[in-house]
Amino acid sequence: MTILRNATVFVDGQLRKTDIAFDEKIRAIGSNLSGDEKIDCSGKLILPGAIDIHVHARDLNQSHKEDWASLGRAAVSGGVTTVCAMPNTDPPLDTLEIVREYRKRALNSLTNAKVYGGITLKNIQKLDELSTEVDSFKLYLGETTGNLVITDKKLHRKIFKQIAQMEKLLAVHAQRGGPPKIVTQHEADDIRYVLDLAASHGTKLHIVHVTTRRGVEAIWEAKRSKIDVTLETCPHYLFFTERDRERRGAWLKMNPPLATEEDREFLWWALAEGLIDIVATDHAPHTREEKSVGYERAPAGVPGVEFMLVLLLNAVNDQKLSLERLIEVCCANPAKRFGLPTGELSIGWDADIAVVDMNIERTITREMVRSKCGWSPYEGLRVKGWPVMVFVRGKLVHIAES
């Protein structure tokens, strides 16, 4: 049993001076706890480990970009203890054989690993079979890495009905592609289309990487109509805009594209006010060489898993976001939505824990990057608040360099 002592612990929705004892599970929270190892955490915060429900772990035929081992190192260095991996791999995660191989490779990760099943034209008749091996499903309506886009509206209706009958969660890439300005302008219409499908079939829906004010407002209108939907946005939409893309080119090329400064400001407001359910990174690593060939030829996507939490901790230090909201969008809400036994510090829950020093201030540099892709769009940003120690199911997996 490990005891973290003399820290300020986020427990029951508030910060409290107490100790916490755990093995694989959290066993006790209080004073005078006994255990085999006692670690003094004076001056630190103890938070639930963050959950990133939207990562591209690559591996398989794209292991030069990332593999499960490198993804795990990157994630835990940033306080992320659980990741949910998207299915647009090479080959895609659309058969039992490939999903089982992917899960086997995920054992190399330091994190907890969850896997989405891909819905493709060749497996629509076998989703029931695939559902036994995947945690959720993902449907692509717009441009993405890999050939997973389904455009047939009849098939959309069939898919939403099937997923509802299986009582699985369906994550949807709703933005249907095109030039960046067109994607941004049409995001809300694309989102309303999938909201109507979810309403018709009672599908449990999660809409990924929302970028605009109109997109958020469309989803909240649906929530008021009792549609079972959640939404996520990503750090890059909180920190960059279309103007940054114009300046930095392929390094900020992603799907969906960056939106306007007005949209970015609204996302921050919506995040602080509780209109955004989850922050996830859409960690989509490509190598520096792949990103250096010009905007049109370069693949879309940016890495992000190792800096999500520190960027938001910095926002807490800047009083732009409350710590309570950070815990909701990075821990509690994703755990609740995806049915995970983590996301809060409670007795009996998995001991996924991040020990944070809110006073450490560092500039993000390329040398810090642990992702195999070897770069970050956040290089040069000065941020305050860093994880110094991270546990996954009670195992110490990261200690920060002093």
pLDDT at 142: 84
Domain count, the chain: 2
pLDDT tens digits for range 104-157 = 999 999 999 999 999 999 999 999 999 999 999 999 998 777 779 999 999 999
DSSP-based three-state secondary structure for 215: helix
Q: Is 19 a catalytic residue?
A: no
Tokens read off for 50? 């963050």
User: What's the Cα-to-Cα distance from 374 to each of 166, 287, 289, 290, 361, rounded to whole Å?
Assistant: 40, 7, 10, 12, 22
Verify that 62 and 203 share a domain, yes or no.
yes
Verify that 392 and 311 share a domain, yes or no.
no
pLDDT at 4: 97
Position 208 pLDDT exceeds 80? yes
pLDDT level of residue 230 (50, 70, 90 thresholds): very high
Verify that 37 and 63 share a domain, yes or no.
no
Evaluate whether residue 191 is within a structural domain.
Answer: yes
Residue 320 neighbours by CB under 8 Å, 6+ apart: 268, 272
Verify that 302 and 234 share a domain, yes or no.
yes
pLDDT tens digits for range 243-254 = 999 999 999 999
pLDDT level of residue 177 (50, 70, 90 thresholds): confident
Evaluate whether residue 373 is within a structural domain.
Answer: no
Evaluate whether residue 369 is within a structural domain.
Answer: no
Verify that 224 and 112 share a domain, yes or no.
yes
How high does pLDDT run on average in the chain?
96
Evaluate whether residue 370 is within a structural domain.
Answer: no
Choose, from 67, 190, 282, 350, the residue flagged as catalytic. Answer: 282
Least confident of 143-147, 301-305, 366-370: 143-147
Which range marks the domain in which residue 15 is found? 2-46+348-361+384-399
Verify that 258 and 391 share a domain, yes or no.
no
CATH of the domain at 7: 2.30.40.10
Verify that 139 and 218 share a domain, yes or no.
yes
Position 223 pLDDT exceeds 70? yes
pLDDT at 402: 67
H-type helices in 292-371, by residue range?
308-317, 323-327, 333-338
Nearest 10 degrees: Cα torsion 266, 270, 275, 276: 90
Residue 4: half-sphere exposure toward Cβ, Cα within 13 Å? 32
Helices 213-224 and 180-201, interaxial angle, to 10°? Answer: 10
In what helix (H) or strand (E) does residue 209 lie, and over which residues does it extend? none
- CA 287 to CA 364: how far, in whole Å? 18
> Comparing 401 with 185, which gets the higher pLDDT?
185
Evaluate whether residue 236 is within a structural domain.
Answer: yes
CB 357 within 8 A of CB 386: yes
Verify that 56 and 39 share a domain, yes or no.
no
pLDDT tens digits for range 193-204 = 999 999 999 999
Evaluate whether residue 89 is within a structural domain.
Answer: yes
CATH of the domain at 104: 3.20.20.140
Instruction: Give the pLDDT mean for 73-80.
Output: 98
Evaluate whether residue 328 is within a structural domain.
Answer: yes
Evaluate whether residue 284 is within a structural domain.
Answer: yes
H-type helices in 225-303, by residue range?
235-239, 242-248, 261-273, 288-291
Verify that 270 and 140 share a domain, yes or no.
yes
Amino acid code (one letter) for 77: S
Verify that 207 and 284 share a domain, yes or no.
yes
Verify that 216 and 259 share a domain, yes or no.
yes
Verify that 60 and 204 share a domain, yes or no.
yes
